[in-house]
């Protein structure tokens, strides 16, 4: 039987954060799950696990193990009750073409929570390395991932889909770089206020900017300490924020919940200061924007460019879909060629056995190979892959007569 590329997926498209968390696979679990799946389903020759904050997906290459079977196994592995309800959260496919289409749409950013987000490709590369380390590429899966990397490169080179960013956090960090000169920007003293998703994203995207003098302040000191320790930054006391003691800071990005007009004063007037308010309701008194030394941005001003970027990306979506379609067609051509090559290989073995049976022990191996190749050539010329056993015997007889054997 032929192998098929299949997938199962639970993501922000089908489940909320709490539901997705149940299926998140840690690095430790990934090792364990991989071993168990390979031991339990011996027909699986390729396995690719993509686990991010917004999705958990398993792509696998198998002969008979279905997507539904693997969902049941994952639910059991995660010890999740009420399996019937949880199964409804999954997208699945047992079709190779549908599976590669989904993988290409995910890797391109079409399926991302942040539309067009290019972060997903680095996560896919990491998952690919894991599969290779465990020798679980599989021929169908490996070819699919090569299509992913080729598609990513084509989208970057041939479309405007990768231009700009649709992340508020990323854009805010970019504003810091745009506000100060290149030589001094890395050393600017930066304060993040809050410990929610936006601040976590600020830390995540800082890996691209490498600002190295960051402080974090939050009502919950424990949360602030956790974020500071995991991101090589420092904490700033909440009482200093309440008292508006900000004189030393060059940049303040505030995203604290339920803290309207938290920042009203305390900002230095002797130097340029960047204030970015990402909170709803606003954390920063807009009157501060009137000061000559202050550069002020809020969600509206940040989002204007982001909306333009999003519209720009939407306009390029058709081009992206065309590239994906072309790569799917290319994959299908390769797949058909692979099937044909496998069929021809089996066919050649059959002919070789027939030749050997007819002529042994009066013929050498080199003659068997030559006769086999000649019969194969005639079959290919006549496009007779479905030729009968009797016709093969006749072709062999004809060749033997021509060679006076």
Domain ranges of the chain: 4-158, 168-311, 348-402
Q: At 331, is the pLDDT very low, low, confident or very high (cuts 50, 70, 90)?
A: very high
pLDDT of residue 223: 94
pLDDT of residue 379: 61
Q: How far is residue 280's CA from residue 46's CA, in Å, rounded to a whole number?
A: 46
Is residue 276 within 8 Å of 252, Cβ to Cβ? Answer: yes
Q: At 341, is the pLDDT very low, low, confident or very high (cuts 50, 70, 90)?
A: low
Phi first, then psi, for residue 246 (nearest 5°) are -120, 15
pLDDT of residue 281: 78
pTM to 2 decimals?
Answer: 0.59
- pLDDT, averaged across the chain: 86
* Whether the predicted pLDDT of 214 surpasses 80: yes
Averaged pLDDT, 37-46: 95
Is residue 161 within 8 Å of 155, Cβ to Cβ? Answer: yes
pLDDT of residue 191: 98
Averaged pLDDT, 186-195: 94
* Whether the predicted pLDDT of 316 surpasses 60: yes
Averaged pLDDT, 365-373: 72
Share of the chain above pLDDT 70, in %: 83
Q: Which CATH class is domain 4-158?
A: alpha beta
- The CATH code belonging to domain 168-311 is 3.40.50.720
Q: At 279, is the pLDDT very low, low, confident or very high (cuts 50, 70, 90)?
A: confident
pLDDT of residue 313: 79
Most confident of 52-56, 315-319, 378-382: 315-319
Averaged pLDDT, 188-205: 93
* Whether the predicted pLDDT of 357 surpasses 90: no
Q: How far is residue 196's CA from residue 16's CA, in Å, rounded to a whole number?
A: 17
Q: How far is residue 147's CA from residue 271's CA, in Å, rounded to a whole number?
A: 51
pLDDT in tens, 114-169: 778 777 888 899 999 999 999 998 889 999 999 999 999 999 889 878 766 667 88
Neighbouring C-beta atoms of residue 386, cutoff 10 Å: 8
Top pLDDT among 391 and 90 is at 90
The alpha helices in 89-220, defined as continuous H runs, are 96-108, 119-133, 139-158, 168-179, 182-185, 197-205
Nearest-CA neighbor of 297 among 169, 166, 178, 172?
172
């Amino acid at each position: 039987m032929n192998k098929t590329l299949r997938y199962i997926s639970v993501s922000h498209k089908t489940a909320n954060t709490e539901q997705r968390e149940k299926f998140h696979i840690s690095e430790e679990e990934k090792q364990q799950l991989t071993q168990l799946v390979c031991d339990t389903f011996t027909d699986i020759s390729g396995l690719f696990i993509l686990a991010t904050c917004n999705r958990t997906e398993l792509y696998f290459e198998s002969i008979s193990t279905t997507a539904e079977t693997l969902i049941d196994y994952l639910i059991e592995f995660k010890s999740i009750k009420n399996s019937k309800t949880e199964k409804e959260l999954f997208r699945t496919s047992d079709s190779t073409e549908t599976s590669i289409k989904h993988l290409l749409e995910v890797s391109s950013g079409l399926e991302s929570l942040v539309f067009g987000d290019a972060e997903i490709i680095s996560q896919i590369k990491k998952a690919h390395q894991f599969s290779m380390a465990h020798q679980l590429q599989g021929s169908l899966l490996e070819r699919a991932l090569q299509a992913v990397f080729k598609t990513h490169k084509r989208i970057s080179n041939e479309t405007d889909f990768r231009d700009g960013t649709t992340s508020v956090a990323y854009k805010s960090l970019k504003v810091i770089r745009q506000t100060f000169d290149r030589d001094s920007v890395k050393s600017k003293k930066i304060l993040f206020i809050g410990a929610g998703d936006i601040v976590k994203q600020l830390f995540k995207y800082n890996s691209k900017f490498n600002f190295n003098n960051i402080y974090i302040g939050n009502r919950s000191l424990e949360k602030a300490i956790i974020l500071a320790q995991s991101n090589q930054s420092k904490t700033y006391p909440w009482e200093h924020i309440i008292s508006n003691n900000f004189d030393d800071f060059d940049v303040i990005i505030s995203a604290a919940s339920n803290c309207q007009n938290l920042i009203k004063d305390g900002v230095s007037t002797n130097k340029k200061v960047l204030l970015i308010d990402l909170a709803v309701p606003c954390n920063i008194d807009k009157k501060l924007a009137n000061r000559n030394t202050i550069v002020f941005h809020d969600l509206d001003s940040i989002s204007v460019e982001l909306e333009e970027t999003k519209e720009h990306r939407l306009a390029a979506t058709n081009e992206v879909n065309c590239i994906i379609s072309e790569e799917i067609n290319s994959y299908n051509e390769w797949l058909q060629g692979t099937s044909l090559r496998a069929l021809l290989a089996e066919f050649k073995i059959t002919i070789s056995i027939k030749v050997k049976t007819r002529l042994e022990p009066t013929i050498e191996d080199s003659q068997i190979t030559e006769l086999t190749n000649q019969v194969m050539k005639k079959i290919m010329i006549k496009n007779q892959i479905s030729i009968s056993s009797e016709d093969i015997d006749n072709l062999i007889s004809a060749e033997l007569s021509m060679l006076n054997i």
